[in-house]
Every structure is written in structure tokens, then in C-alpha cells.
Amino acid sequence: MTASRPQPKPGILDIAAYVPGKSTAKGAKVHKLSSNESPIGSSQKAIEAYRAAAGALELYPDGAATQLRNAIAGRFGLKPESIVCGAGSDELLQLIAHAYLSPGDEAIYSQYGFLVYPIAIQSNGATPVVAPEIDFLAHVDAILARVTARTKIVFLANPNNPTGRYLPFSEVKRLHSGLPANVLLVLDAAYAEYVRHNDYEAGIELVATSDNVIMTRTYSKIFGLAALRLGWAYCPSHVADVLNRVRGPFNISAPAIAAGVAAISDQEFVERAVAHNEQWLPWMSGELSALGLDVTPSVGNFVLVHFPANETHHAHAADAFLQEHGFVVRRMDAYGLPNALRITIGTEEANHGLVACLKAFLT
């Protein structure tokens, strides 16, 4: 029988669509703490470069994003030809899955890994395989135990969103050494700039010395350019060649390229963003813990907060109460954590206001 309307390919309708953090709430002033955006805005240099690019909107951008790749390469000491830029690291994750996954393949990610991973896997007809975490931390042995002949990719967010925890470089290297040579290890380092621990490495070293490691980064977090959708991947040359074959010919806008070049050079802004987070992340964690809430240790610009499993003070009630008072946070139901909320580190005003609001909710 002929279908009554066009049908998507098998598996697409099994995908749980990604739901971004809410942006609105009640109250005269809304504090959006749901999407891990920059609480200090964007680099003024990036804003000025973006505005200057508005004078030539009739022209296509440079499809190779040459200036942006050169700027990134110069900042981190990389080869420009090994950098692929995309519309956020989300697009790059999708491109990787599109290029390397087929029906019958498997890809692994950790239990509380970024929800874009299963979407990218399933949309290419492959099977997502979940490796359990221990204490909200990816477990190398659990990942390796799930590698089969069908495994083609392992996705690892490090630091992880939404837990905020990270694997030290020694464990990442152990994971890589345990993988077959034909399996890609994708290190999603969206929050790398916030980490100030000597045992952490974002992935540059592994990419430079391996044929099967990719590191993805984003401009959406510490650089404060989430509205522009800009990210980049550092990969072996053969992988860069593949991704450049499947990406769109003009996948990054000219204003985004201009802003990205300016932002990567504005180290003073980055240092200010890091300093803000180093001040308020421990403060927020301590204040929430003092209220009797369980806070997962985080190295990102957010905290994962667990609420009591009772009728009055559960996470859904807390979320509703916060929204009533103008605070938008992220519920974790989609991650299988219905009694947790993820809270972005905000401005001084937002941080104090949120803690005061939760104190009123819990008393």
C-alpha cells in the first residue's frame, strides 16, 4: 500500500527531540540561568567586528573560514588545515556522525552525556550505546566494556554537561589506548576554558599524536557568542578532509567569522570570564549545599543540584517556584534525573537572588 504522505527514513521518529533551556519566566526581571551562557556578555572587540561585517551582507562568506582557522591555529599553536569550523560544535558532532556512522553501526556515550549525541547517532541509522557512570562521572572501564566490532565512535564530553565533572588526562589516554584503531574518540571540550586543574587536557595533545581522535570546541560558552552559532574541531588531516567534504559550502556566516577572529584574540575578556566563574562557582556550590541540597562538584560554568524526593521540595516544585520569581533554570528529566536542576552561574545579582529564592522555597 502506498503511504498517504512522505515518510522519514527508519529510526528518525524514534529520536527524542532536543529541548533547549527555557528563556522566559514570570516577573519584572528574568534571570536566564538555563543554557550555560556567558554572564558577562561578549567581547567588545567581537561585537565591533560583528557590526563592521554588516556592511557586506550581500556577499557570501569565505567558505573555508580561512581567517578564523588561522586565528584559532595561532592562539593554540595548531595547523590551520587540521581545523574545521562549524555552526556551533553541535553541527560538527552531527557532521562526524554523518560521515562515520551507518545503519548497523554503534556509537557509545556516557550515561549523562550531552543529549545531542544520541540524536546524531540515531539520525544516521546507528545504535546508541550508553555506558553507566559512577558518581556522575564517565567510567573508562564501562565504556571499553561496551566496545564491539560494530563500534565506530565514542563520544566523551569532558568536562561533561550537565554534571560538570571531568576525567583527568591520564584516564582519557587510558580510554584512547583501549580503543581499536578504527574507532573515533570524539572529545567534546565545550567547557575546557573553565577548567583550572593540572591533570586536565582538552584533547589537543591526543589529536596531534593520533589518527582517531577529534576535539570539538565552541564559542558559545566562555566567549559569549552563543547567538552566532560558532564552533571548531581539531582533527587529523584525513578526518578534516572528510568533514570538509560533507559540510555545507558556506556553513558559517561572515559576521560570525569576523566576531570569532576578534574574540579568540581578546584574552583579557577570557581571563575576566574565568575570574568571574572562579569567584561564583564555589560560592554558588557552597550556598546551595548550605541549604541542604546535594550539589555535584563542577568545573564548568554551572552546577547540577539534586533536590529531596518528597512531596513539597522536589525539583519540579523548585523549578516552578523559581520561574514564578523570574529565575529560569534547566530541568533534567530528559537526562533521567527528574529530581535535579542544572543552574548556570550568573551575574552577582542573579546568583544572590537565586539562592535567596531557593532558601524561601525550602523553608
Tell whether 165 is covered by a domain. Answer: yes
Q: State the cell numbers at 342.
A: 542544572
Confidence of residue 3 (pLDDT cuts 50, 70, 90): low
Percentage of the chain lying above the pLDDT 70 cut: 95
Average pLDDT over residues 25-32: 73
Instruction: Decide which of 232, 265, 298 is a domain's last residue.
Output: 265
Same domain, 226 and 275: no
Tell whether 5 is covered by a domain. Answer: no
What per-residue confidence (pLDDT) applies to 25?
58
What per-residue confidence (pLDDT) applies to 17?
66
Confidence of residue 267 (pLDDT cuts 50, 70, 90): very high
Same domain, 208 and 277: no
What per-residue confidence (pLDDT) applies to 29?
78
What per-residue confidence (pLDDT) applies to 347?
98
Alpha-carbon distances of 76 from 91, 101, 209, rounded to whole Å: 22, 30, 16
Inform me whether the pLDDT recorded for 33 exceeds 90. Answer: yes
Average pLDDT over residues 135-147: 98
Rounded to whole angstroms, the Cα distance separating 84 from 69 reads 7
Rounded to whole angstroms, the Cα distance separating 64 from 92 reads 15
Same domain, 118 and 236: yes
Same domain, 36 and 85: no
Tell whether 6 is covered by a domain. Answer: no
The count of domains in the chain is 2
Range of the domain at 188: 44-265
Q: Which residue has the cell 578532509?
A: 241
Q: pTM of the prediction?
A: 0.92
27 vs 119, residue with greater confidence: 119
What per-residue confidence (pLDDT) applies to 26?
57
Q: For 288-311, how does the pLDDT look when each residue is reduced to its tens digit (9 = 90+)?
A: 999 999 999 999 999 999 999 888
- The alpha carbon dihedral of 225, 229, 235, 238 has a sign of negative
Same domain, 176 and 261: yes
Inform me whether the pLDDT recorded for 88 exceeds 80. Answer: yes
Task: Specify the CATH number for the domain of residue 179.
Answer: 3.40.640.10
Instruction: List, in sequence order, every residue forming a beta bridge with 83; answer none if it has no partner.
Output: 234
Same domain, 284 and 168: no
What per-residue confidence (pLDDT) applies to 309?
86
Tell whether 4 is covered by a domain. Answer: no
Which of 196, 258, 243, 204 shows the shortest CA–CA distance to 222? 196
Distance of CA 48 to the CA centre of its chain: 26
Q: Do 88 and 236 contact (CB within 8 A), yes or no?
A: no
Same domain, 133 and 157: yes
Same domain, 203 and 275: no
Q: Is 3 helix (H, G, I), strand (E, B) or coil?
A: coil
Same domain, 78 and 164: yes
Task: Specify the CATH number for the domain of residue 348.
Answer: 3.90.1150.10
Confidence of residue 5 (pLDDT cuts 50, 70, 90): confident
